[in-house]
């Protein structure tokens, strides 16, 4: 066995290893919005979560709405970053303008209500459910990110939730419920340059131990 639907583990790993952090993105997408939506729906339909509690929520924002979203991010982050220093604001705002120049945003949220309910239905693991939710969120992120890049797009993962007023502005723009918590923000668009190469990794002697 080992061969399901004509796809081997090696083929799947080769596909997964194609995913890179891509910052040079165009404001276009050769992949139609409906196809991106279909990919997200596919991921939501099978990706795992602890006890299948499904705390992950996703918002897709495309085209002019992506630019408007980034305008909100830029104005909400300005007082925070300028408060740290003009140099921080200058460097971050030019990064943010670059993200605004992409085509779309995929926001990954956690449903606080789902976590609360899960803590009641699974009391013995209640203290772990927020952490498990983060694991599940990351699993959804990597699946969507990889699938988009296999469609020929580039994408990068951002964490604007590091600044509470920015998270609040994004929540307002997206019109999500109050109990949602932003976990990650995937910007995507057509690649504006060669797809990046894989960065160096630690040696297996440091990262892997086999006990047999």
Residues forming contacts to ligand FMN in the complex (CB under 6 A) are 20-21, 156-159, 196, 199
- State in angstroms the smallest separation of the CB of 21 from ligand FMN: 3
**Exposed / middle / buried, residue 192 (Cβ in 10 Å: 0-12, 13-18, 19+):** middle
- Of 18 and 37, the one with the shorter C-beta distance to ligand FMN is 18
Reading the block at residue 93, the tokens are 């705002």
Which of 126, 139 has the CB closer to ligand FMN?
139
Please identify, using beta-carbon distances, which residue of 125 and 158 lies nearer to ligand FMN: 158
Query: What DSSP character marks residue 124?
Result: G
- Strand residue runs (E) in the chain: 56-62, 104-111, 153-158, 180-190
Q: Name the minimum Å distance from CB 136 to ligand FMN.
A: 13
Report the nearest approach of ligand FMN to the CB of residue 158 (Å). Answer: 5
Burial of 51 (0-12, 13-18, 19+ CB in 10 A): exposed
Residue 184 C-beta: closest distance to ligand FMN, Å: 7
Contact (CB, 8 A) for 102 and 188: yes
Of the pair 8, 21, the CB lying nearest ligand FMN is at 21
């Amino acid at each position: 066995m080992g061969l399901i639907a004509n796809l081997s583990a090696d083929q799947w790993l080769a596909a997964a290893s194609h995913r890179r952090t891509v910052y040079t993105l165009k404001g276009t997408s050769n992949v139609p919005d409906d196809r991106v939506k279909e990919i997200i729906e596919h991921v939501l339909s099978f990706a795992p979560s602890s006890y299948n509690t499904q705390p992950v929520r996703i918002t897709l924002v495309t085209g002019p709405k992506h630019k408007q979203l980034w305008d909100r991010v830029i104005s909400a982050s300005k007082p925070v970053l300028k408060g740290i220093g003009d140099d921080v604001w200058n460097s971050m705002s030019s990064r943010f303008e670059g993200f605004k120049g992409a085509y779309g945003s995929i926001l990954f949220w956690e449903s606080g209500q789902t976590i609360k309910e899960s803590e009641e239905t699974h009391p013995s693991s209640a203290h772990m459910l927020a952490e498990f939710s983060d694991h599940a969120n990351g699993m959804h992120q990597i699946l969507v990110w990889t699938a988009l890049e296999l469609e020929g797009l580039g994408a990068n993962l951002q964490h604007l939730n590091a600044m509470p007023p920015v998270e609040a502005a994004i929540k307002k723009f997206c019109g999500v419920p109050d109990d949602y918590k932003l976990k990650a923000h995937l910007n995507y668009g057509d690649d504006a340059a060669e797809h990046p190469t894989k960065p160096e990794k630690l040696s297996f002697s440091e990262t892997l131990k086999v006990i047999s």
